[in-house]
Amino acid sequence: MNDTDAGTDADTDAGGEAAPRRRRSGGRATGERSRLPPQRPWAQPRLRYRPTEAVSADELESIHEASLRILEEIGMDFLDGEARARLAAAGARLEPGSERVRFDRGMVTELIRTAPATFTLHARNPAHDLTIGGDHLAFGAVSSAPYVSDLEGGRRIGNRVDFQNLVRLAQMLETVHFFGGYPVEPVDLHASVRHLDAFYDLLTLADKPLHAYSLGRGRNRDCLEMVRIARGVDDATLDREPSIFTVINSSSPLRLDTPMLHGILEYSSRNQVIVITPFTLAGAMAPVTLAGALAQQNAEALAGVVMTQVVRPGSPVVYGGFTSNVDMQSGAPAFGTPEYMRTAMVGGQLARRYGLPYRSSNVCAANAVDAQAAYESVFSLWGAVMGGVNLLMHGQGWMEGGLHAGFEKMILDADLLQMVSAFLDPIAVDEDTLGLDAIREVGPGGHFFGAAHTQSRYRTAFHKPMLSDWRNFESWQEAGSPEATAKASQVSKELLAAYQPPAIDPAVEEELAAFVERRKTEGGVPTDF
């Protein structure tokens, strides 16, 4: 964001290995931007540490074996005839008069092999294209919250104004690499045309990769067409270049609903990205034991991956894990717990076993942006990042178990993700950084502030957070004892005030508007699926 004084760590070689610096096309003059809070420049961090293995290799095989037995012996319900027919043609066993599908293990292990380990997810601005998989990380903004909240306005139902402001804020935050859906549901837009207006906003207010909801084939098609127009490419290019993704949640336990299957049929056939994500809350939609919840998660995920490869071998698909637990006294879902951390890590082990990119999430159950919101989020990041996540959903702004998107939480999380990114910067170890000459020059009892070794590096030596208040107690108290959430509120306002829309070809904008207009005239999409 800030070109002259960005929070990069000169102590690392991140500048050498990371993607080159890219100015957003709507960039402002340096002087103006330097008054904004410090941000690291846009870049996909790399997973540089060996992922943590929460279960042994043998235990992982036991989970894998159990999930294959689930698919063989119990099977899953696929609530769409075409999907069942295609699976049967590929070797799955149907049960007459039922939606049940069973899979022999050979079919599963054979079919998942064709899924790619890494691929590019294209943005309308090529500078924001993402590599998904391998050691690449990508963070997406909160999505699908029905409510929105900020300090002044409190919690309110989702609406287009807040939706647009969250999109603007996400566009301004360099750690937001993609949109995982609508940051908040603009429920004042009618469901039949909501995707048209929302996609128009997402494609004009921002230029990062997008997610479309699988809520009927019409929506899938409209959103893909709008992305095609925005990218200015033809259908054949789109079929070569994944340019949109959709999250496919199984209805745990063991069911894939009609619109989800239609989403796979539509997008896998067009070589677009499927993110299979069972939502396996242990004790509710999955066994109360973590091993059991993981076996079920894995069965559901593998079945979804198989479906994509049956539709189009080699089409991109991401292995998603979302196993958490419920509070068994109240039934309330819990997030960022020790259970969440460990299952996030095992999810990564499973995804790597199958050579698939891995999706996890930055979650919390807190109602306010307090210490709980922070510790649940950092614990979930600990689980996800050390678990080897590639695609992090709900990276910024997720509150209250996903029920509301928070403006202040957007900033807090963006800061957390900047710190995670800096944590992933390698420590440069060489003659120069080992600094023996500086240590010799300063000597026992001296001070390094004045050393040339320090002076030549101090501007960029360390990561600069947006929120952390490091003033001494007296200065902080004189300033009114501000807490982190108040600072986050201020930063969100500053960023929104500085927002400028990214460049777009007026002809493209016009074509998008015309498409929206035409599809509205046609009545949008059915809402009774």
Which residues in 14-43 contact its own copies (CB under 8 A)?
Answer: none
Residue 334 lies near its own copies (rule: CB under 8 A) = yes
Find the part of the chain contacting its own copies (CB under 8 A) among 164-172, 214-222, 355-363, 474-482.
Answer: 474-482
Count Cα atoms within 13 angstroms, Cβ side, for 13: 8
Residue 303 lies near its own copies (rule: CB under 8 A) = no
Cβ partners under 8 Å of residue 405, min gap 6: 142, 145, 147, 148, 149, 158, 162, 166, 183, 184, 397, 398, 399
Residues 404-433 that bind its own copies (CB under 8 A): 404, 412, 416, 419-420, 422-423, 425-430, 432-433
Whichever of 267 and 279 has its CB closer to its own copies, that residue is: 279
Burial class (CB in 10 A: 0-12, 13-18, 19+), 238: buried
Find the part of the chain contacting its own copies (CB under 8 A) among 28-36, 174-182, 258-266, 466-474.
Answer: 466-474
Residues 368-397 that bind its own copies (CB under 8 A): 368-379, 382, 386
Which of 57, 85, 332, 507 touches its own copies by CB under 8 A? 332
Q: Three-class SS of residue 107? A: helix
Contact 28, 36 (CB under 8 A): no
Rounded CA separation 166/237 (Å): 30
Find the part of the chain contacting its own copies (CB under 8 A) among 86-94, 169-177, 185-193, 460-468.
Answer: 460-468
Residue 450 lies near its own copies (rule: CB under 8 A) = no
Residues 187-246 that bind its own copies (CB under 8 A): none
Contact 453, 437 (CB under 8 A): yes
Which of 117, 233, 403, 496 touches its own copies by CB under 8 A? 403
Whichever of 118 and 251 has its CB closer to its own copies, that residue is: 251
Count Cα atoms within 13 angstroms, Cβ side, for 347: 40
Which of 447, 480, 497, 506 touches its own copies by CB under 8 A? 447
Number of residues forming the site for its own copies (CB under 8 A): 127
Which of 28, 105, 453, 493 touches its own copies by CB under 8 A? 453
Which of 34, 109, 251, 258 touches its own copies by CB under 8 A? 251
Find the part of the chain contacting its own copies (CB under 8 A) among 134-142, 158-166, 462-470, 511-519.
Answer: 462-470
Rounded CA separation 203/197 (Å): 10
To its own copies, the closest distance from the beta carbon of 74 in angstroms equals 5
Which one, of 506, 523, 511, 520, lies nearest residue 225 by Cα? Answer: 511
To its own copies, the closest distance from the beta carbon of 329 in angstroms equals 9
Residue 367 lies near its own copies (rule: CB under 8 A) = yes
Residue 337 lies near its own copies (rule: CB under 8 A) = yes
Would you state the structure tokens that stand for residue 69, as one six-digit string?
A: 């037995």
Residues 483-512 that bind its own copies (CB under 8 A): 483-485, 488
Contact 494, 36 (CB under 8 A): yes
Rounded CA separation 398/406 (Å): 7
Would you state the structure tokens that stand for residue 214, as one six-digit string?
A: 């699988």
Cβ partners under 8 Å of residue 454, min gap 6: 438, 448, 461
Which of 16, 97, 444, 480 touches its own copies by CB under 8 A? 444
Residues 95-154 that bind its own copies (CB under 8 A): 100, 147
Residue 439 lies near its own copies (rule: CB under 8 A) = yes
H-state helical runs in 40-128: 57-69, 81-89, 105-111
To its own copies, the closest distance from the beta carbon of 267 in angstroms equals 24
Residue 156 lies near its own copies (rule: CB under 8 A) = no
Whichever of 454 and 490 has its CB closer to its own copies, that residue is: 454
Rounded CA separation 18/9 (Å): 12
Which one, of 403, 396, 401, 454, lies nearest residue 420 by Cα? Answer: 396
Paired residues of 319 in beta bridges: 276, 358
To its own copies, the closest distance from the beta carbon of 457 in angstroms equals 5
To its own copies, the closest distance from the beta carbon of 142 in angstroms equals 16
- Contact letters for its own copies, residues 38-67 (x by CB under 8 A): -----------xx-xxxx---x--xx--x-
Residue 292 lies near its own copies (rule: CB under 8 A) = yes
How far is CA 13 from each of CA 45, 51, 457, rounded to the nearest angstrom? 12, 21, 14
Which of 287, 353, 501, 508 touches its own copies by CB under 8 A? 287
Cβ partners under 8 Å of residue 309, min gap 6: 111, 112, 114, 115, 268, 315, 317
